[in-house]
Every structure is written in C-alpha cells, then in structure tokens.
C-alpha cells in the first residue's frame, strides 16, 4: 500500500474500510494535519486490498490489530516491514518511507508533473515534493539522450 499509493506508514495502517470507493476507484486518505486527499486506486491495488480484507473481514479497518478492535499499530507494521526487509537482504537504510520516496520518484521518471505528485503525496508545499526530483538512473539516461540530441551538431 505504501508503495502502490505513496502513503506514509501512519496513513496506511489507519485506513478504514470506508476509505475505499470501488465505484469511483478512489482511496480516501487522512494525512498530516487531518487533511483528506483522494487518490486514484488502480485495479491491482483494489484486488490486493480485497484479498487482505477477506483474511480478517473486519468491518471497520483494512489493517486491523490482532483482536480487531482498532487499526494495526504503526510499531507492528514497522516490525513486519523490518522482518521482510531482512528476509529480502536489504540493509536498515531501506525504510517504509523509502517506498513512498520510490513511488514519487517512479511517477516523476514517467513524466508526471511534479504538481500532481505533490497532490498525490499530500504535500502542502512544493518544496517538500522537490526532494524527490533527484537524478535517478533512468532520468540520467533520458538526460544523456536529450543532451546528445540537443548538442549533436555542436562539435
């Protein structure tokens, strides 16, 4: 969820079932400072959410705690993430926020306008989104090609 929708870990664990609007294919997220944003929901993500829900069938929470009385605590999600990270052979610099960062970077690599990425991430300021505009390898390749095309006749 964090990678597929660019969520913060706190946003992901606190998603109520009512956050999903499957008719309009939207996910309503409550972010920092209780600001709500509606994110487009891709079909594979909706299918995954339905599969997860079928495991516990909690009426209120998408990711319920063990006894179903509340949402999954952030600390529990972090422990699960850390276990998966270790099993995958990643170091501890790979965090849940890395997934959010990767979501934003991937969209920018695909050419999505930074203002749209800002909205999807729920950033109040464009400056917060600009940290995701670093030069990744795909962007470097595109830039090399662009520079080569622009200056082919220079020398």
Catalytic residues: 8, 32, 97, 100, 123, 132
Q: How many CB atoms lie within 10 A of CB 76?
A: 14
Of the candidates 145, 120, 154, 115, the one whose C-alpha atom is nearest the C-alpha of residue 133 is 115
**Contacts of range 111-117, beta carbons closer than 8 Å, 24 or more positions apart:** none
How much of the chain is helix, strand and coil, in % rounded to 5? 55, 10, 35
């Amino acid at each position: 969820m964090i990678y597929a929708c660019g969520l913060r870990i706190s946003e992901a664990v606190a998603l109520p079932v009512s956050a999903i609007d499957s008719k309009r294919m939207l996910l309503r997220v409550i972010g920092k400072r209780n600001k709500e944003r509606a994110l487009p929901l891709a079909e594979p993500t909706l299918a995954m959410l339905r599969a997860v829900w079928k495991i516990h069938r909690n009426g209120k929470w998408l990711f319920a705690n063990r006894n179903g009385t509340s949402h999954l605590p952030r600390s529990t999600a972090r422990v699960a993430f850390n276990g998966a990270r270790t099993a995958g052979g990643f170091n501890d610099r790979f965090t849940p926020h890395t997934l959010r960062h990767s979501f934003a970077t991937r969209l920018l690599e695909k050419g999505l306008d930074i203002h749209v990425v800002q909205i999807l991430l729920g950033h109040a300021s464009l400056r917060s989104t600009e940290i995701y505009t670093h030069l990744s390898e795909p962007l470097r390749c595109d830039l090399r090609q662009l520079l080569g095309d622009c200056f082919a006749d220079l020398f």
